[in-house]
A and B are shown apart, each in its own frame.
Chain A
């Protein structure tokens, strides 16, 4: 079956431009996560969607970052007025939350963002 897919795989943009990154989770997975992987910062949590609940945005680094999830499936991460420090690999993951702890998160291949 299809895994988590992300697009684009690579994105080069100029400082100050807006970018949109897309994530298609595994079909039927109710939980969706965005993480960022950058040199010096490692892997950082950004935002978490679970079903119809309000998202957990506590990891977003600034108000230039926003994300939405339409119809409980596809998600878009938007970065406005990009800065060079936004350069990183943006990872999306999904999981099927049940009652038990430790539900496995399945990661997409990531979008590599370079801000010039």
Chain B
């Protein structure tokens, strides 16, 4: 079946530090890949997505590249801000094997200190 594995958290950084949150996946089809973010007290929001190999998704300074050869979709940001503190979820959808449902990773709690 499909699965998503994220690096364990929590992650604590200082403002302006570089961020990487690792995400790898297992899928039998050709999935689309997503990063969702959950800010404190709020619902899940799409951060970025990529639908085919070598695509790069980007938003709000965050980037992730769909790497089919390493089955990865790592999230990066060059300089984090306090306002980036949130829980980040990597997810996939695989139309061929599981319809349009999202399979999520465990989530990574990020705290950015001033």
**Chain A residues within 8 Å of B, Cβ to Cβ:** 31, 33, 35, 42-43, 45, 48, 50, 56, 59, 91, 93, 95, 97, 100-110
Is B69's beta carbon under 8 Å from chain A? no
Chain B residue nearest to A107 (CB atoms) is: B44
Checking B49, B89, B102 against A45 with a beta-carbon cut-off of 8 angstroms, the contacting residue is B102
A selection of 18 A-B contacts at a CB cut-off of 8 Å is A33-B101, A35-B102, A42-B105, A43-B89, A43-B91, A43-B102, A45-B102, A50-B100, A56-B99, A91-B44, A93-B102, A101-B30, A102-B34, A102-B93, A105-B46, A105-B100, A107-B36, A109-B42
Contacts of A101 in B (CB 8 A): 30, 32, 51, 93, 95
The answer to whether A95 and B100 touch across the interface, beta carbons within 8 angstroms, is yes
Chain B residue nearest to A40 (CB atoms) is: B106
Instruction: Give the complex CA separation of A105 and B43 in angstroms.
Output: 12
**Chain B residues within 8 Å of A, Cβ to Cβ:** 30, 32, 34, 36, 42-46, 49-51, 89, 91, 93, 95, 99-107
Instruction: Give the complex CA separation of A45 and B42 in angstroms.
Output: 19
Contacts of B102 in A (CB 8 A): 33, 35, 43, 45, 93, 105
Instruction: Give the complex CA separation of A91 and B101 in angstroms.
Output: 13
Instruction: Give the complex CA separation of A5 and B34 in angstroms.
Output: 22
Instruction: Give the complex CA separation of A55 and B25 in angstroms.
Output: 26
With known contacts A43-B89, A48-B99, A48-B100, A104–B107 Cβ distance under 8 A: no
Checking A43, A56, A100, A107 against B51 with a beta-carbon cut-off of 8 angstroms, the contacting residue is A100
